[in-house]
């Protein structure tokens, strides 16, 4: 097997484990799993675009309803994610999603 495929599978597994730990409200382990996944992704040059909205890029906290506040700004068409542990703010446009909805 290719090393990148193994690394990608490991990243998937780590995010699954983080999700399970989030259900049990063990946020320390979630944070550790995200740190490990990011370290694997950087060493093997793997894109984490699939998971980019699932964790805080500042403190590696896995996002659940208790660890993040999500707000939509309709006038700017932006979704704002605010991490409750470190206060970092991440903004994502949602123009593409809105255009897809109109076409359907």
Which pLDDT score, from 0 to 100, does residue 16 have? 96
- How far apart (Å, rounded) are the C-alpha atoms in residues 82 and 68? 6
- How far apart (Å, rounded) are the C-alpha atoms in residues 29 and 60? 11
Which pLDDT score, from 0 to 100, does residue 98 have? 65
Task: Report the chain's terminal Cα–Cα distance, integer Å.
Answer: 40
CB proximity list for 63: less than 8 A, separation 6 or greater: 53, 54, 55, 56, 81, 83
- The ranges of the chain with pLDDT < 70 are 96-101, 103-104
Contact 53, 92 (CB under 8 A): yes
Which pLDDT score, from 0 to 100, does residue 97 have? 66
Residue 76, SS3?
coil
């Amino acid at each position: 097997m290719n090393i990148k495929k193994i690394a990608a599978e490991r990243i998937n597994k780590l995010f699954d484990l983080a999700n399970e730990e989030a259900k049990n409200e063990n946020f320390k382990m979630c944070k550790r799993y995200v740190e490990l996944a990011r370290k694997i992704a950087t060493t093997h040059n793997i894109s984490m675009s699939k998971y980019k909205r699932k964790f805080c890029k500042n403190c590696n906290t896995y996002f659940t309803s208790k660890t993040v506040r999500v707000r939509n700004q309709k006038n700017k068409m932006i979704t704002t994610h605010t991490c409750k542990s470190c206060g970092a703010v991440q903004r994502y446009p949602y123009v593409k999603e809105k255009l897809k909805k109109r076409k359907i």
